[in-house]
Amino acid sequence: MRFGEILTPSALVDLDKVERNTRWMSQRAHALGVRLRPHVKTHKCIEAAQLQVAGHFGGITVSTLAEAHYFAEGGFTDITWAFPLPLGRVVEALELTNQIERFAVVVDHMETLEVLEKEADKRCETVCVYLKLDCGYGRAGVQADDPTAMDLARRLSESPRINFRGILAHAGHSYDCRTPAEILRVAQEERDNAVLFAERLRHDGIAVEEVSVGSTPTMRLVEDLEGVTEIRPGNYVFFDLFQANIGACQIGEIAFSVLSTVVGRYPQRDAIVLDAGALALSKDPGVHPQNPLFGLLTHPETGQAWTEGLLGGLSQEHGKVSWKGAETMPQIGDRLRILPNHSCLSAACHPVYYVLRGMEVVDTWRPCRGW
Amino acid sequence: MRFGEILTPSALVDLDKVERNTRWMSQRAHALGVRLRPHVKTHKCIEAAQLQVAGHFGGITVSTLAEAHYFAEGGFTDITWAFPLPLGRVVEALELTNQIERFAVVVDHMETLEVLEKEADKRCETVCVYLKLDCGYGRAGVQADDPTAMDLARRLSESPRINFRGILAHAGHSYDCRTPAEILRVAQEERDNAVLFAERLRHDGIAVEEVSVGSTPTMRLVEDLEGVTEIRPGNYVFFDLFQANIGACQIGEIAFSVLSTVVGRYPQRDAIVLDAGALALSKDPGVHPQNPLFGLLTHPETGQAWTEGLLGGLSQEHGKVSWKGAETMPQIGDRLRILPNHSCLSAACHPVYYVLRGMEVVDTWRPCRGW
């Protein structure tokens, strides 16, 4: 298939950039002296995950049980499901424990641990568990200073059916940052909170093997990870406009885009309409939700950004662009490549990614979907 | 399968409500004296489309060519693709023309019409075409007072390979309304603009058979459609929180919801975490983008709304809820049913819908995806 034959809207992956991005993070992990257990939730496909783990121990992180099954079938044998274990999926998780070398789940509630212990006991299974720590993000996880955190860690470490792996934290609040300096501060907080909590547990006689942290912004900028054993960044494979806007990558590193065609051209009201709407891009508003821009419009071949065009609105299948200047306004049938705000959500809209080297389609990747 | 066995996150459809909603719109069309060509883009599945067309002539409206193929294979023989025809899909559209009784496309640019004529001529095909009119929404369509609109209509009516059907308009700006009175005003504007433009064309000797209008809000509230021949509402099958918030439906009519499980419970910071995030709900912020609420939390069985819980944040797989009052805060493992802001986008997240009568799972529907 040639580039010109790709129907729109379609998801494009720039393989040179993916290779560069994955190599960068791989070297970063080596330089920082930590194991790389990359997150695969951004792309959810085997081929990209293989590039991510190259030169490392092969472990990955997933966000859904569907991904865990998919990557297990794809040959991955060491998988962490970095999501608070839902009670309704405990049995399925235990079954997977039996199918690959090492499947780990994440817990931060005694209620969940009790159900897990009971089911594991019933099945005579041992299950790997991380204790989720809230390192300042305020989404999930125990608070380090909450006495129940210590109780939970002790119970995990003493439970006969639990192989307690250690601490898992995720600095999701790095996405609230707007400068590299802010990201660096969050990265240090993520590291310090996780390492200090692990040390407190060890001081109390609880063995903590792993201290697992990581988001793409924090792993891009942090310079010292002493005490941390593994990192779990994921978005860096593709990056996106959001990462560029907060200073975690350059525009030129963004490896995922959505190819779109101009289907409407209205110079009298400075507007064009594209065939990529909310179902092809997702509706993530980017860094300024009150004044959303749903992506950066670029030339499909040169990658040059078209700053005259602002993708300010999305309906289900229409992208609504205001375009200043009739002389550069694209024509009906012209194609644009849209760098999306949030590649994890945009990629999830597409059943297939067209993988390019330059303008040549060299592969198609079919990601996992669902839960 | 029992209700309790449905894994989360999952899409639920309340069949009683779908039947009530589709019956209401069917009767509405009869009462207004117009043909009902319902849009199927909200659900994209055969079963719901069959309920929509019951008692009418059987024609439907689709938003993508993938839907057109899917519904054609599902037995629908009269389909309008209500999207500005992209040049790259002209050949495919012509092929479909050949496969069903009547496939119509929408055009608002001379460039597109010329390509369509040329390809139709090459294949000796005749293709049904609507002229898209902008009735105040400002997305796609010709302006009634633009002289090129008349040129385009004339060319459509005279072209030997074109079966010119008439005018097609869509009052998408009804979604900017915040009261029923505002919606009614937009509905009248949609009708008047389309009817007046059709009359101008007829006055100039151009035969206009169809005057097709309609959005769910406008068709819910309009009281008189004189001069209009067909309507194309779609969202009303499911409705959603957005429609309820602008006064186009009642909360109790919303037929689509996302079933979710509590996976985190943090009374010390008034928060719970659900296993339904942006990939299960979409990231449509609702009527107040500056202060988004991503859905209404309800009891999974009674449907009672939990006003103590505000679903204010979504990450990829996490729903972040602030919950006032520890006494009603759900427990780990409890299920909630989330009424989403925008059912079209939320439904598109799911490969299957669980169809319920009360608490009984009576069917599963598998929607069409992609383009």
CB contact under 8 A, B315 and A278: no
The answer to whether the Cβ–Cβ distance between B345 and A279 falls below 8 Å is yes
Find the closest chain B residue to A87 by CA distance: B333
Residue A288 has pLDDT above 90, yes or no: no
- Give CA–CA dist B357/B185, Å, rounded: 37
Residue that has been written with the tokens 């129907």 in this structure: A7
Q: Closest approach of chain B CAs to the CA of A7, in angstroms? A: 7
pLDDT for residue A248 is more than 90 = yes
DSSP state letters, B187-233 = HHHHHHHHHHHHHHHHHTT----EEEE--HHHHHH----TT--EE--
Quote the minimal CA–CA distance from A151 to chain B in Å. 16
Are the beta carbons of B169 and B230 closer than 8 angstroms? no
Please name the member of B63, B83, B285 whose beta carbon is closest to the beta carbon of A289: B285
Q: What is the mean pLDDT of each run of 10 residues along chain B (371 residues)?
A: 96 98 98 98 98 98 98 98 97 96 97 97 96 92 93 97 97 90 94 97 97 95 96 98 96 98 96 98 89 94 94 97 94 98 98 97 98 97
pLDDT of A286 reads: 87
Distance separating alpha carbons of residues A136 and A143, to the nearest angstrom: 9
Residue B369 and residue A348: Cβ atoms within 8 Å? no
Neighbours of B302 (CB within 10 A): 8
- Look at residue B192 in the predicted model and tell me its pLDDT: 96
A8 and B88 within 8 Å at the Cβ level: the answer is: yes
Strand spans (E) along chain A: 10-14, 35-36, 60-62, 78-84, 102-107, 127-133, 162-169, 210-213, 230-231, 256-266, 271-274, 295-298, 309-314, 319-323, 335-340, 353-357, 360-365
Q: With an 8 Å Cβ cutoff, are A140 and B9 in contact?
A: no
Mean pLDDT calculated for residue range A35-46: 98
Does the distance separating the beta carbons of A87 and B333 come in below 8 Å? yes
pLDDT of residue A305 exceeding 90, the answer is yes
Instruction: Pick B261's closest partner by Cβ from A87, A269, A320.
Output: A87
Q: Which residue of B has its CA nearest to A335?
A: B88
Chain A interface, mutation test: which of B332, B342, B350, B353, most A Cβ atoms within 10 Å? B332
Whether A364 and A355 have beta carbons less than 8 Å apart is answered as: yes
Query: Which residues of chain B does A64 touch, with a Cβ-Cβ cutoff of 8 Å?
Result: 317
Find all residues with CB under 8 Å of B217, minimum gap 6, and list them: B171, B174, B175, B177, B183, B186, B187, B243, B246, B247, B248
Residue A290 pLDDT more than 90? no
Chain A nearest-CA residue for B346: A279
pLDDT, one tens digit per residue, over A143-175 is: 999 999 999 999 999 999 999 999 999 999 998
Query: Average pLDDT for residues A284-301, to the nearest whole number?
Result: 91
Pick from B238, B270, B279, B284 the residue to mutate for testing the A interface (most A CBs within 10 Å): B279
Set out the domains of chain A in order of their start, with CATH numbers: 3-9+250-365 (2.40.37.20), 15-234 (3.20.20.10)
Which segments of chain B are extended strands (E)? 10-14, 35-36, 60-62, 78-84, 102-107, 127-133, 162-169, 210-213, 230-231, 256-266, 271-274, 295-298, 309-314, 319-323, 335-340, 353-357, 360-365
Average pLDDT of the residues in A248-264:
98
Residue B129's DSSP bridge partners are B105, B164
Please tell me which residue of chain A has the smallest CA distance to B278: A345
* CA-closest candidate to residue A56, choices A87, A71, A35, A70: A35
Subunit contact A333:B7, Cβ cutoff 8 A:
no
How far is A189 from B245, CA to CA, in rounded Å?
41
CB contact under 8 Å between B371 and A280, yes or no, is yes
Q: What is the structure's pLDDT at B213?
A: 97
pLDDT for position B244: 96
How does strand B78-84 pair with strand B102-107? Answer: parallel
- The model's pTM: 0.97
- In chain B, whose CA is at the least distance from the CA of A344? B316
**What is the band of A291 on the pLDDT scale with cuts at 50, 70, 90?**
confident
Q: How wide is the angle at C-alpha A250 spanned by C-alphas A244 and A256, nearest 5°? A: 75
CB pairs under 8 A between A and B: 152
Indicate the SS3 state at residue B249: coil
Closest to B332 (Cα-Cα) out of A86, A280, A275: A86
CB A319 within 8 A of CB A311: yes
CA distance A219 to A233: 7
Interchain pair B84, A263: CB under 8 A: yes
What dihedral do alpha carbons B123, B124, B128, B130 form, nearest 10°?
70
Given this model, what pLDDT does residue B357 score? 97
The verdict on a CB contact (< 8 Å) between A275 and B83 is yes
ipTM above 0.90, yes or no: yes
- Which of B138, B273, B350 is closest, CB to CB, to A140? B273
Q: Which long-range contacts (CB under 8 A, 24 or more apart) does A269-273 make?
A: A269/B138, A270/A322, A270/A323, A270/A324, A271/A320, A271/A321, A271/A322, A271/A323, A271/B138, A272/A309, A272/A321, A272/A323, A272/A329, A272/A330, A273/A318, A273/A319, A273/A320, A273/A321, A273/B84, A273/B139, A273/B140
- Other beta carbons within 10 angstroms of residue B124's beta carbon come to 7
3 state SS of B49: helix
C-beta atoms of A108 and B8 within 8 A: no
Distance CA B12, CA B1 (A): 13
**pLDDT interval class at A84 (50, 70, 90):** very high
Given this model, what pLDDT does residue A369 score?
96
State the pLDDT confidence band at A358, using cuts at 50, 70 and 90. Answer: very high
The helix/strand/coil state of A216 is helix
What mean pLDDT do residues A287-310 have?
A: 93
Q: How far is CA B217 from the centre of its chain?
A: 11
**Whats the size of chain B, residue-wise?**
371
Distance from CA of A43 to the nearest CA of B (A): 12
**Residue B140 to residue A273, Cβ atoms within 8 A:** yes
